[in-house]
Structure 1
Amino acid sequence: MFFRLLLLISILFSIPQVRAEPIVPGYQHLAGSPSSAGQVLLQELKCFPCHAADNPFPIKRKTPTLLGLRNRVKPGYLRSFLVNPNHEKPGALMPNLFHGWADAEREDAIENILHFLYSLPDEATKANGEGTEYDIAKGEEIFHTVGCVACHEPRRKPQRIENEFGEEIEWEREEPVKEKSASIPLPDLKRKTWLKPLARFLMSPYNTRPGGRMPDMKLSEQEAGSIAAYLLNGEAVSPKVMFEPYPDRIEKGQRLFHEIGCTNCHSSAGKKEAYSLKA
């Protein structure tokens, strides 16, 4: 029975679809082994926490921390992400929890959860230098040489140079990602965040994404800030409109956070309650 489940998930995931789908790095290399491919998908997509089935995999992938979310994600982006994760962040692994809801009901529910998430306490972070100026050109150079384009699409065109035979060729100092399916899309970063939290993430990605695949590149504060400035096209200011959570919506959002199964993957303030869907 379990093997059949693995096979079914592998087949369904391999069928070409027009709509966006989650991106699981390395999955495309398991096309010849449906059982292994299904196992990878079950683990990466975290199917078992929400479905009424015993989890045979002892290792669980950690999800992003929600603490301090208000200090690194803009409300407009988070609101749109909750409406449709894959539309706002192509390749997102989080499912659309509000699919099929009536518009008014979905809008109210998301607003309540947003207020709850923005009420969570801050995580302990080391503050970046206030008012530090970063070199955008240097950030562009680092982004294309330190290893970023091994997983993310290059953001500049390769240079054209002459080889030893006098032929004009394209040249990139680092080998870019080969397969489009293996590329990890970046969200609209200017819409999502601002310079200081992005620089902090680049310096210590595991602080907020403990189960993330992005490695710690051991960047200095100046290097991380320069890459962040480059990715944000020089936009360094934090949002001027601060989001103030309402107490009544916080309470409703916290209750809904448990009821629809968010705590199956994310930990939060309050008691964790199990929520299951039929497998």
Structure 2
Amino acid sequence: MSMTCRTCLAGLALVLFVGSGRSADPARPVVPGFERFFNGDKVDHGQGGRLLLTELNCISCHGASDATLARKQAPILDQVGNRVRVGHLRKFLRDPQAVKPGTTMPHLLAGDPDAESKAEALLHFLASTGSVRKDRPDGKLIAAGRDLYSKVGCVVCHGTRDAAGDQDKVWPTSVPLGDLKSKYSVASLAAFLENPHATRPSGRMPRILSGKES
């Protein structure tokens, strides 16, 4: 990848990174395709249900005889300790919706009397895979990243952001970003933007850069 493209990615990562402390997203799973096409009265609820079965990954636990219902692959957790901060992991394991409203991650420990100790055990296991590199945002790249956020189409899926980089407008079909600053380092967020499918093989997030740009 060229130095120019890496600089653009870093700028985009920074504009998301520095202004991601607020969220207007609902505290429930958000499936943009369902919100756009099936969230109403005069819709095919059967097709909407099929979409939710796959996007919420119900069939991974419950199974399905219909071969057209594809299983959604979960995010890859290999070396997640290198990408995600320990504090974020701890809170997310304890209550996913509280940390990232709209996430499709189920609250697996809800109602479990030993939820806190189990979340802590899972945290230590996942954190043992690496450590997040400390870095500081480069103020010079923030303006370029803010411009790129609109130009490459991030705003269409994730909503608009104000001058400080905080969430401004979201729509029912907006994909929640959560508090990116508490989750990623600048470097790990930039790596995700460069190749989203490396860790989220079933994700809908496109690669920001074309083959020629890479």
TM-score, scaled to structure 2: 0.73
Q: Give 1:26 shift.
A: 1.3
Gaps of at least 5 residues in structure 1 are 1-18, 123-129, 158-175, 224-279
RCO (CA 8 Å, sep 6+): is it higher in 1 or 2? 2
- Are 1:54 and 2:55 counterparts? no
- Alignment counterpart, residue 154 of structure 1, candidates 148, 160, 163: 160
> CA, structure 1 residues 219+136, in 2 after alignment: closer, same or farther (shift >3 Å)?
farther
- Partner of 1:49, secondary structure, is helix
Contact (CA 8 Å) 2:136, 2:186: kept in 1 or not? Answer: no
Matches within 5 A, 1:202-213: 202-213=193-204
Give, in whole Å, the separation in 2 of the partners of 1:70 and 1:94. 18
Give, in whole Å, the separation in 2 of the partners of 1:194 and 1:80. 17
Residue matched to 2:77: 66
Q: Give 1:219 shift.
A: 6.8
- Aligned-pair identity in percent equals 39
Residue matched to 1:119: 128
Give, in whole Å, the separation in 2 of the partners of 1:72 and 1:207. 12
> CA, structure 1 residues 193+219, in 2 after alignment: closer, same or farther (shift >3 Å)?
farther
Deviations 1:184-222 (A, max 9, x none): 1211111111110000111111111111111011179xx
Residue matched to 2:101: 90
Contact (CA 8 Å) 2:101, 2:178: kept in 1 or not? Answer: yes
Give, in whole Å, the separation in 1 of the partners of 2:64 and 2:143. 51
Residue matched to 2:175: 184
Higher helix share: 2
Residue matched to 1:7: none
Matches within 5 A, 1:206-225: 206-218=197-209
Deviations 1:114-145 (A, max 9, x none): 111223479xxxxxxx9995611111110121
Give, in whole Å, the separation in 2 of the partners of 1:94 and 1:75. 18
For 1:191, give the aligned amino acid.
S
Deviations 1:133-180 (A, max 9, x none): 5611111110121100011111127xxxxxxxxxxxxxxxxxx98x71
Contact (CA 8 Å) 1:202, 1:219: kept in 2 or not? Answer: no
Cα RMSD (Å): 2.8
- Partner of 2:93, secondary structure, is helix
- Alignment counterpart, residue 198 of structure 1, candidates 178, 189, 192: 189
Q: Give 1:76 shift.
A: 0.8
- Alignment counterpart, residue 78 of structure 1, candidates 85, 89, 112: 89
Contact (CA 8 Å) 1:67, 1:121: kept in 2 or not? Answer: no
Give, in whole Å, the separation in 1 of the partners of 2:123 and 2:101. 21
Gaps of at least 5 residues in structure 2 are 1-25
- Partner of 1:50, secondary structure, is helix
For 2:64, give the aligned amino acid.
D
Contact (CA 8 Å) 2:95, 2:107: kept in 1 or not? Answer: yes
- Partner of 2:172, secondary structure, is helix
Give, in whole Å, the separation in 2 of the partners of 1:27 and 1:116. 34
Contact (CA 8 Å) 1:23, 1:91: kept in 2 or not? Answer: yes
Aligned length: 174
Matches within 5 A, 1:1-279: 20-28=27-35, 29-30=37-38, 31=40, 32-51=43-62, 53-58=63-68, 59-102=70-113, 105-120=114-129, 135-156=141-162, 180-218=171-209
Give, in whole Å, the separation in 1 of the partners of 2:102 and 2:27. 7
